[in-house]
Chain A
Amino acid sequence: MALSKNTNHPRFKKLSMMGKRYKDIISEISNPVDSTNRFINLALDTVGDNSQGRQFLLESKQGIKKTAALLKRLSDYSLKIEKEVLEMAKTSE
């Protein structure tokens, strides 16, 4: 991201920091979400069709799905912030 040195406005700094924080959080959370989902899929292959274990795993999968959707929303929001920061940087040049 090509940022101008003149972008000292507090809103710019705040937005820039927020965007970065969001990205870090998304990156950190998406790893365990992704892996847990994969482990659940692997576990589903090992349990019986009508077992209680399968029910629990399917419930867990729903939880993971919700978290993944939340991550996607957070990611879209962070991209929006990034766009805004880039726009601000362009206008201040």
Chain B
Amino acid sequence: MNKPRVLIVSEDRLTQKSLYELICQHGYEAGITHSVKDVMAYLDEKICHVILADIAGADDIEILKLIKEKGYPSEIITMAAHGNIEEDLSDLAADCLIRPVEDKKIISSIEKALSKVSRGESRQSFLKKLLHKEETFYDLVGKSPSFKEIYSLIERISNSKATILLRGESGTGKRMIARAIHKADKKRRDKPFMEISCGALPREIIESELFGHTKGSLREL
């Protein structure tokens, strides 16, 4: 999961700003909407992992229920003044906070909600892989902006004659990207994809292994 995003929903400017600072200080990304009514429009634009909603009454709860029903991959945390909300929100919200609320409690609630989100996300991505193969890009799975950037780069370079060097630490997906480039290349995709581990080749015969050699030439080495 990328840097988790928390959406702050509050009409009060001071509440917005103080929560924004607190959330950013703890390493999360934060967004703000002024009312629960604006949440859905925000969620259509951006992925949000946690919605921290300051609720004032029954109308807000109804909208949050609708958001939950729509199946956005977000967990909801409600905040309300003491005694303001009588309804049991345990089905709707990962946590219900009563103002004034301690900072530690807010952060622990966000962490709790995020653990629920990541459990849900891994389950969802597994199902997506099974059911919606078209959502992958030549077997690469990911919808984040950085992934989309990689996809467009692959498309741009795949049909060129350029030699491509992929760099990255072990396990970062160089092999997957190389395969994706091969599959995206219209002229080469039907030809074999040769995978050679250069580290496993002895230095002396690396050239002949890669480019071939004339019979008997190795005896001279």
Binds A, one of B16-24, B128-136, B201-209: B16-24
Contact of A34 among B21, B56, B83, B101 (CB under 8 A): B101
Q: Are A23 and B18 closer than 8 Å at their CB atoms?
A: no
Residues from chain B with a CB closer than 8 A to the CB of A68 are 100
Q: In the complex, are the beta carbons of A38 and B18 less than 8 A apart?
A: yes
Q: A26-B82, A71-B100, A72-B82 are in contact. Are A35 and B18 (CB under 8 A)?
A: yes
A71 to B22, CA, bound (A): 23
Q: Are B18 and A26 in contact (CB under 8 A)?
A: no
B15 touches A42 (CB 8 A): no
Q: Report the nearest A residue to B97, measured CB to CB.
A: A34
Q: Are A42 and B22 in contact (CB under 8 A)?
A: yes
Q: Are A27 and B81 in contact (CB under 8 A)?
A: yes
How many chain A residues touch B (Cβ–Cβ < 8 Å)?
Answer: 24
Determine whether A7 belongs to the interface, using a CB cutoff of 8 Å to chain B: no
Question: Is B189 an interface residue, CB under 8 A from the partner?
Answer: no
Q: Is the pair A31, B99 in contact by a Cβ cutoff of 8 Å?
A: yes
> Once the chains are docked, how many angstroms separate the CA of A32 from the CA of B21?
15
Query: Does A16 reach chain B (CB closer than 8 Å)?
Result: no
Please indicate the chain A residues that have their CB under 8 angstroms from the CB of B22 in the complex: 38, 41-42
Contact with A along B39-76 (1 / 0, CB 8 A): 00000000000000000100000000000000000000
CB-CB contacts below 8 Å: A29-47 with B: 30-39, 41-42, 45
Residues of A within 8 A of B81 (CB): 23, 26-27, 30, 75
User: A18 at the A/B interface (Cβ < 8 Å)?
Assistant: no
CB of A5 to closest CB in B, whole Å? 21
Which residues from A are CB-within-8-Å of B15?
Answer: 31, 34-35
Whether A17 is near chain B, meaning CB under 8 Å from some CB there, is no
Distance between B25 CB and nearest chain A CB, rounded to angstroms: 7
Indicate whether A3 reaches chain B with its CB closer than 8 angstroms.
no
Residue on A with the closest CB to B103? A41
In the complex, the answer to whether B14 meets A32 with C-beta atoms within 8 Å is yes
Instruction: Report Cα–Cα, A45/B17, bound state, in Å.
Output: 17
Is B91's CB within 8 Å of the partner chain A?
no
Closest chain B residue, CB of each to CB of A32: B14
Q: Contacts A36-B14, A75-B82 given: A27-B56 contact, CB under 8 Å?
A: yes
CB closest residue in chain B, given A37: B100
Instruction: Give the complex CA separation of A16 and B12 in angstroms.
Output: 26
> Which residues of A sit under 8 angstroms from B25, Cβ to Cβ?
42, 45
Give bound CA distance, A48 to B16, whole Å. Answer: 27
Q: Which residues A59-85 have CB closer than 8 A to chain B?
A: 68, 71-72, 75-76, 78-79, 82
By a beta-carbon cutoff of 8 Å, the part of chain A in contact with chain B is 23, 26-27, 30-39, 41-42, 45, 68, 71-72, 75-76, 78-79, 82
Extra inter-chain contacts (16) besides given A35-B18, A76-B83, CB under 8 Å? A23-B81, A23-B84, A34-B99, A35-B17, A36-B14, A38-B18, A38-B19, A38-B21, A38-B22, A42-B18, A45-B25, A72-B82, A75-B81, A75-B83, A79-B83, A82-B83
Q: Mind listing 15 A-B residue pairs with CB under 8 Å?
A: A27-B56, A30-B81, A30-B82, A31-B14, A31-B15, A33-B100, A34-B99, A34-B101, A35-B14, A38-B21, A38-B22, A41-B103, A75-B81, A75-B83, A78-B83
